[in-house]
């Protein structure tokens, strides 16, 4: 008999995605509850620290007696731990559904199969790995965090048609077009942190917030080993929070958090960033910083705009190897994944 497992798991993906930008470093999770071929409730994990998807979905069912004998579809194994909220698997068990259908195992070591085990021990049938590969991509940030202890890293830059990322003086405004820059603001709203090197902070004097899109501002981070960040930069002048990684001082004044890292190894800094709860980063330059991430292999995606402007001379952009692109007005957008 044909089942509808893929169809409903697809819907959990759709719901899960609504949490993008608001749940990090938690996974994005959607839950659909089906009874006699009808969806009787559904919801998703909306905000970090708040109710998990399953609880919101259960709460959306008007007549709770309907839950008995129902099918729960969830893109992630329900949790088994007492965290910021009680375990979802216990709450599901209380309502006596007949089955739970899941896409991915929760690779958080405190769950990792225990949720599934609890359900099975209570006589609930469990099916796993429905559209597993797609589920892994949807929660690429969470799985990277759990498996490696590092944030998910997206490199972004714009380069001219003749391959320059900046002029000779290091300035890089404005290579890409307005539409591309708007898209970058959307991307910023989707990630937990935004990182630049000190030269970009000083030369371009960016705000690094979300202005041309509706959404949350990522936490701003500057790599400034030798404390060269100028006091007149917007990053230090405005009221917003900034983390400034440097070799010398640990000090927090008015939202400006100087964090000492003596060795200044990129991997070490990135681990610290994840430990602060920042599960993903968009890295917006400059050339030296981007090249460091590339050299160390510490990146997951590169999103590269190529404009039709030419500089003739300047600072060369990192080289990449792909000929697949989308058109963003008169810009080309290349997306490269690091499968190393």
204 binds, among Zn ion, ligand AOF, none (CB under 5 to 8 A by kind): none
Q: How far is the CB of 147 from ligand AOF (least distance, A)?
A: 13
Closer CB to ligand AOF, 100 or 235, in the complex: 100
Does residue 79 touch Zn ion according to CB under 5 A?
yes
Closest residue to bound ligand AOF by CB: 83
84 binds, among Zn ion, ligand AOF, none (CB under 5 to 8 A by kind): ligand AOF
Q: How far is the CB of 184 from ligand AOF (least distance, A)?
A: 27
Does residue 88 touch Zn ion according to CB under 5 A?
yes
Per CB under 5 A, which of residues 123..142 are in contact with Zn ion? none
106 binds, among ligand AOF, Zn ion, none (CB under 5 to 8 A by kind): ligand AOF
Q: How far is the CB of 131 from ligand AOF (least distance, A)?
A: 17
Q: How far is the CB of 195 from ligand AOF (least distance, A)?
A: 23
Does residue 43 touch ligand AOF according to CB under 6 A?
no
Does residue 53 touch ligand AOF according to CB under 6 A?
yes
Active site (annotated) includes residue 54: yes
Closer CB to ligand AOF, 119 or 165, in the complex: 119
Closer CB to ligand AOF, 143 or 305, in the complex: 143
Does residue 34 touch Zn ion according to CB under 5 A?
no
Q: How far is the CB of 241 from ligand AOF (least distance, A)?
A: 22
Q: Which stretch binds ligand AOF (CB under 6 A): 74-82, 128-136, 296-304, 307-315?
A: 74-82
Q: Which stretch binds Zn ion (CB under 5 A): 35-43, 52-60, 96-104, 221-229?
A: 52-60
Q: How far is the CB of 144 from Zn ion (least distance, A)?
A: 20
CA-based diameter of the chain, in Å? 71
3-state secondary structure the chain: CCCCHHHHHHHHHHHHHCCCCCCCCCCCCEEEEEECCEEEEEEECCCCCCCCHHHHHHHHCCCHHHHCCCEEEEEECCCCCCCCCCCHHHHHHHCCCCEEEEEECCCCCCCCCHHHHHHHHCCCEEECCCCHHHHHHHCHHHHHHHHHCCCEEEEEEEECCCCEEECCCCCCCCCCCHHHHHHHHHHHHHCCEEEEEHHHHHHHCCCCCCCCCCCCCCEEEEECCCCCCCCCCHHHHCCCCEEEEECCCCEEECCEEEEECCCCCHHHHHHHHHHCCCCEEEECCCHHHHHHHHHCCCCCEEEEEECCCCCCCCEECCCCCCCCCEEECCEEEEEEECCC
Q: Which of 10, 42, 51, 54 is catalytic?
A: 54
Which residues have C-beta within 8 Å of that of residue 5, sequence separation ≥ 6?
73, 101, 127, 130
Distance CA(264)–CA(74), nearest Å, equals 41
Does residue 86 touch ligand AOF according to CB under 6 A?
no
**What are the catalytic residues?**
54
Q: Contact residues for ligand AOF (CB under 6 A)?
A: 26-27, 29, 45, 52-54, 76, 78-79, 83-85, 88, 106, 108, 111
């Amino acid at each position: 008999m044909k089942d509808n497992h893929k169809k409903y798991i697809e819907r959990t993906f759709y719901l899960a995605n609504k949490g993008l930008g608001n749940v990090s470093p938690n996974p994005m999770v959607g839950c659909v509850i089906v009874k006699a071929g009808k969806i009787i409730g559904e919801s998703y994990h909306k905000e970090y620290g708040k109710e998990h998807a399953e609880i919101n979905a259960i709460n959306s069912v008007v007549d709770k007696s309907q839950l008995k004998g129902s099918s729960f579809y969830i893109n992630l194994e329900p949790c088994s731990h007492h965290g910021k909220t009680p375990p979802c698997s216990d709450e599901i068990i209380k309502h006596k559904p007949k089955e739970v259908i899941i896409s991915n195992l929760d690779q958080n070591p405190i769950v990792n199969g225990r949720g599934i085990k609890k359900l099975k021990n209570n006589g609930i049938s469990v099916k796993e790995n429905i559209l597993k590969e797609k589920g892994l991509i949807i929660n690429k940030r969470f799985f990277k965090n759990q498996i490696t202890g590092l944030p998910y890293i997206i490199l972004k830059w714009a380069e001219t048609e003749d391959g320059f990322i900046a002029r000779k003086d290091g300035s890089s405004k404005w290579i890409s077009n307005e539409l591309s820059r708007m898209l970058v603001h959307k991307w910023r709203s989707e990630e937990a942190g935004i990182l630049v090197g000190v030269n970009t902070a000083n030369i371009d004097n960016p705000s690094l917030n979300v202005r041309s899109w509706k959404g949350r501002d990522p936490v701003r981070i500057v790599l400034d080993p030798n404390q060269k960040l100028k006091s007149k930069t917007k990053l230090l002048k405005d009221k917003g929070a900034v983390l400034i990684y440097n070799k010398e001082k640990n000090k927090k004044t008015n939202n400006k958090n100087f964090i000492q890292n003596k060795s200044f190894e990129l991997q070490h800094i990135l681990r610290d960033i994840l430990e602060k709860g920042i599960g993903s980063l968009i890295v917006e330059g400059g050339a030296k910083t981007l090249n460091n991430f590339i050299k160390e292999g510490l990146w997951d995606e590169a999103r590269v705009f190529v404009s039709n402007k030419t500089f003739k001379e300047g600072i060369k952009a990192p080289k990449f190897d792909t000929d697949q692109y989308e058109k963003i007005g008169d810009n080309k957008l290349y997306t490269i994944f690091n499968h190393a």
